[in-house]
Amino acid sequence: MVQARVKAPTREGNKMVSMLQTDTNTTLQPVPMLDFSREYAEIREEVLAAITAVCDSQRFILGPAVESFETAAAHACGVPYAIGCSSGTDALWLALAALHIGSSSLPSHLNPSNLSPVQNPSTQAVITTPFSFFATASSILRAGAQPIFADIDPNTFNLSPHTTAELLQSHPAAGIMPVHLYGQCADMTAFKTLAITHNLKLIEDAAQAFGATWQGVPAGALSDAAAFSFYPTKNLAAFGDAGLLTTQNPETADRARMLRAHGMKVRYFHEEVGWNARIDSIQAAILQIKLRHVDAGNQRRRELAALYDQRFTAANLTGPTTADGIVLPYTDPRGTHVFHQYVIRAPRRDELRAYLTAHSIGTEIYYPLPLHQQKALANLGYNPGDFPHAERAAAEVLALPIYPHLREDELDTVVEAIRRFYA
């Protein structure tokens, strides 16, 4: 217990009064990074009924459960088309392929000698951020295009429209793929302008941002095509792998649906080389239930984020840079952040994390190594130092526990543990 209520005598009288006091010697309670069992306890009956209904129907692939979820998800994202996919990664690949970016839907792509588009100067390029999950870049390669990186905005950690614009001066591209990292939309106003000016496609990696908005428009409705992930740790989470593609364009939607199911429009007649990227009916049925709770969950995440901000500020731990203290997350007022993650920049980050781990307080680093420094992407030809903002972020960021069922006393414990570390 962090702030123990202790009884202390007052000078005013002999009555014992209760006051709040921080006792540095108390043991810190463990705080897990994530505990979805709390949510599950609340929705268990509903979820099990939905799973049972799918089992009773014996329709496990696509079918009515998927169509019903797709309709609800499209409505939530403010788009006419939503296509359930097997994962966020497949949704990203499908978005690119559906927009005719890369060579993945051509049979020649099956030739292994064509699997390294990096050496081929005619390969289409997609500009994206070096500070994201690996799938952001691998889906571009998988589509048969080349990822090229531009540095991030150090305030939001998102792809910077300025570095993107600079890169476009020298590197023609077929698309831009900003990531709404940690649940905050990238500057989609600026990216839309760039996309129009340079006549290229805009794809959102919205894997972490279900329910986020930019200037009132939901993530998923801010581009030519968007990809969501419902990986079990995401803010809208399945009970396994699942994802979603959203678009406002009927042809893109048709093409994504076709490529999702082996390039078939008519069963066993294949128009192109697609893939199996379908969502399971059971996942769709579970997601449909969870979808009803996602807005309230996002709202609670924002409240918890505000509480962290308040507590860190009250404890005098914060500063504008890591030379001065903890740097709190920056929220762009043009968007609504869903705090898929609450990420601080921390002085002596690795030592702090080791201290918290030693006290059973969960944290994560998203992400410790930027994409341009990943071994698997060495043939893209980048060097350390190429993206200083991304590299600095990788060295400083620390994600703290945040999810709708995180208790306030747990949040206080996290803050208290961090206070003790820096004391």
Ligand X SMILES: *Cc1c(COP(=O)(O)O)cnc(C)c1O
Instruction: Name the residue nearer to ligand X (CB basis): 144 or 243.
Output: 243
Task: State in angstroms the smallest separation of the CB of 36 from ligand X.
Answer: 15
By CB under 6 A, which span of 85-93, 142-150, 254-262, 371-379 interacts with ligand X?
A: 85-93
> Which amino acid is located at 66 in the chain?
V
Q: How far apart are CA 98 and CA 91, in angstroms?
A: 10
| 178 contacts ligand X (rule: CB under 6 A) | no
Q: Binding residue for ligand X (CB under 6 A) from 103, 104, 128, 132? A: 132
| 179 contacts ligand X (rule: CB under 6 A) | yes
Q: Binding residue for ligand X (CB under 6 A) from 136, 146, 156, 252? A: 136
Instruction: Name the residue nearer to ligand X (CB basis): 241 or 280.
Output: 241
With b for 16 or more beta-carbon neighbours within 10 A and e for fewer, the 59-98 pattern comes to: eeebeebbeebbebbbebbbbebbbbbbbbbbbbbbbbbb
Residues 6 or more apart from 252 whose CB is under 8 A from it? 81, 98, 99, 224, 225
Q: How far apart are CA 423 and CA 415, in angstroms?
A: 12
User: Of 190, 194, 189, 151, which is closest to residue 175 (Cα–Cα)?
Assistant: 194
Q: Binding residue for ligand X (CB under 6 A) from 161, 243, 274, 370? A: 243
Task: State in angstroms the smallest separation of the CB of 177 from ligand X.
Answer: 10
> Given the structure tokens 């927009």, which residue do they identify?
99
| 94 contacts ligand X (rule: CB under 6 A) | no
| 77 contacts ligand X (rule: CB under 6 A) | no
Instruction: Name the residue nearer to ligand X (CB basis): 168 or 206.
Output: 206
| 176 contacts ligand X (rule: CB under 6 A) | no
Residue showing the smallest CB distance to ligand X in the complex: 88
Range 331-350, binding ligand X (CB under 6 A): none
| 128 contacts ligand X (rule: CB under 6 A) | no
Residue 125 near residue 167 (C-beta atoms within 8 A): no
Task: State in angstroms the smallest separation of the CB of 206 from ligand X.
Answer: 8
Task: State in angstroms the smallest separation of the CB of 415 from ligand X.
Answer: 26
* Number of chain residues interacting with ligand X (CB under 6 A): 15
Range 2-41, binding ligand X (CB under 6 A): none
Reading the block at residue 346, the tokens are 């921390």
Reading the block at residue 259, the tokens are 């490529």
Q: Binding residue for ligand X (CB under 6 A) from 69, 77, 82, 88? A: 88
Reading the block at residue 330, the tokens are 């920056």
Range 363-382, binding ligand X (CB under 6 A): none
| CA of residue 421 relative to chain centroid, distance | 29
Instruction: Name the residue nearer to ligand X (CB basis): 184 or 288.
Output: 184
Instruction: Name the residue nearer to ligand X (CB basis): 209 or 356.
Output: 209
Task: State in angstroms the smallest separation of the CB of 179 from ligand X.
Answer: 5
By CB under 6 A, which span of 127-135, 184-192, 273-281, 350-358 interacts with ligand X?
A: 127-135
Site string for ligand X, 201-240 (x = CB under 6 A): ----x-xx--------------------x-x---------
Q: Binding residue for ligand X (CB under 6 A) from 70, 84, 87, 150? A: 87
| 133 contacts ligand X (rule: CB under 6 A) | yes
> Given the structure tokens 């088309």, which residue do they identify?
81
> Given the structure tokens 């106003």, which residue do they identify?
189
Q: How far apart are CA 211 and CA 217, in angstroms?
A: 10
Task: State in angstroms the smallest separation of the CB of 15 from ligand X.
Answer: 55
Instruction: Name the residue nearer to ligand X (CB basis): 220 or 325.
Output: 220
Residues that bind ligand X (CB under 6 A): 87-89, 132-133, 135-136, 179, 205, 207-208, 229, 231, 241, 243
